[in-house]
Amino acid sequence: MNELPEGWTVEPFSQVASYTTGRTPARANPAYWAKGERQVPWVAISDMEQYGIITETAESVSALAFENVFRERIVPAGTLIMSFKLTIGRVATLGIPACHNEAIISIFPREGVDQRYLGYFLSQVDYTDHQDRQIKGNTLNQSKIDQIQVALPPSKEQARIADVLDKCRLGINTERVAEKTAEELRRACMSELFTRGLRGEAQKETELCFVPESWSVVRLGEVCALSTGTTPSTKEKHYYDGEVPFIKTADVVNNRISAANTFVSQQAIDDYSLKIFPVGTLLMAMYGQGKTRGQVSLLEIPAATTQNAAAIQPSSDIDSAFLWHYLMSCYERLRGMGSLGHVSHLNLGYLRDLLIVKPSLQEQREIAVILDAIDSKVDLHRKKREVLEELFESLLHKLMTGEIAVSDLDLSALSMASTQHEEATA
């Protein structure tokens, strides 16, 4: 540990706090997990969000388990807990009285130790040298936990440090909530705009859904040219030392693509007759068991792409941005299309037959403008959250090592985030 400021001390964890471990009632005894009137919340690591407050758990134990296994000793609300197996160093605070499993400790700081400060400190410790290797993963034993070296500033400075980090976390959570709210607004607007439009028209029934009377429902292949790309051999390094953007399916994440992570050479273009797709082309991932399949991106740069992506080039009466938003709204429908053995996938045949709505070109553009504005709102909150997360990580390290003091900080931005949160929740 680096040299600390005057007045700081370093003490082993055993001298800073007492702690107790939890238990897992025998799974083989169904009576310990039976539903009943006196269920007791039981915390697993999966219930713990880093720095979060636990108000609900995925599982509860029965009154019998509480009596026989936990001897009716419950951990009170407000207690700091930390995981010390598998995911080591995750900290949270109980918002409800609960029991927890044997991979978690309940922490009770001694007098003069700020619980919030201690939680933040424990979250940033490098536990690599403390861990024991077990068959099921890394863990800390009691001796290793006792020996964790805790840097302690004076009590008032502990509280000031915790206040700063609390404000930073509040800012992060405020932006996360705002981001989620904007995403929910986008989904609601998509549902409304793609079925009712902007003109207040009477609706008609189609083979896809009810739509405004002036709209039509068409197959994607009727209004777009569809093709796929080609992947040059990855064994030939000179194919990937050029300047032409090459988009992989991993880059296709319901986004606008304005920059590439991979580039191919003119030699690759010549040898594989690669097609360079123009700005306004949509790329859709056709393979993948995870979230990738069915996601779609809008090219804002000319680029080549892989054979695992469909390149969708709209005709002159389809607005690219409108179609991009619409296809994103079709994600669940696309996920259910097509399969080959155990690997689900899309292909150009399925996509050509995909039914889409077709308003007038002017209305398409107006709808796209509305959804673009909401996307900008989502993106703004995401970027602000990411900046605050970077700030938090930097502050966490520097405050805990005494590299900077709270008195050195300009906290106006964090105070503003706190005010915004209070106004939003008033």
Buried b (16+ CB within 10 A) or exposed e, 382-417: bebbeebbeebeebbeebbbbeeebeeeeeeebeeb
The two structure tokens encoding residue 30: 């169904």
pLDDT for the residue 84: 94
Q: Answer for the pair 71, 63: CB distance below 8 angstroms, yes or no.
A: no
**Are residue 20 and residue 143 in the same domain, yes or no?**
yes
**Residues 351, 258 share a domain:** yes
Q: Do 342 and 267 share a structural domain? A: yes
Q: What is the CATH number of the domain that holds 313?
A: 3.90.220.20
Domain-ending residue, one of 358, 393, 408:
358
Q: Do 225 and 339 fall within a single domain?
A: yes
pLDDT cut 90: percent of the chain above it: 85
Judge whether 251 lies within some domain.
yes
In this predicted model, what pLDDT tens digit does every residue of 336-365 receive, in sequence order? Answer: 875 544 456 899 999 999 999 999 999 999
Task: State whether 146 and 224 are in the same domain.
Answer: no
Instruction: Pick the last residue of a domain from 127, 152, 177.
Output: 152
Report pTM: 0.83
Number of domains making up the chain = 2
Alpha-carbon dihedral 251, 252, 258, 259, rounded to 10 degrees: 10
Digit-coded pLDDT (tens) for 273-304: 999 999 999 999 998 767 899 999 999 999 99
pLDDT of 128: 83
Tell me if 294 is assigned to some domain. Answer: yes
The one-letter code for the residue type at 344 is S
User: Which of these three, 152, 186, 206, is where a domain ends?
Assistant: 152
What 3-state class would DSSP assign to 269? helix
Identify whether residues 138 and 250 lie together within a single domain.
no
Question: Is the same domain home to 122 and 247?
Answer: no
Instruction: Evaluate if residue 424 carries a pLDDT over 90.
Output: no
**Quick one: average pLDDT of 171-190?**
97
Both tokens assigned to 205: 């029934």
The answer to whether residue 327 sits within a structural domain is yes
Q: Is residue 391 part of a domain?
A: no
Q: Are residues 137 and 229 in the same domain?
A: no
Instruction: Say whether both 141 and 229 belong to one domain.
Output: no
| 317 lies in some domain | yes
Residue corresponding to tokens 């964890």: 13
Domain holding 322, by residue range, is 216-358
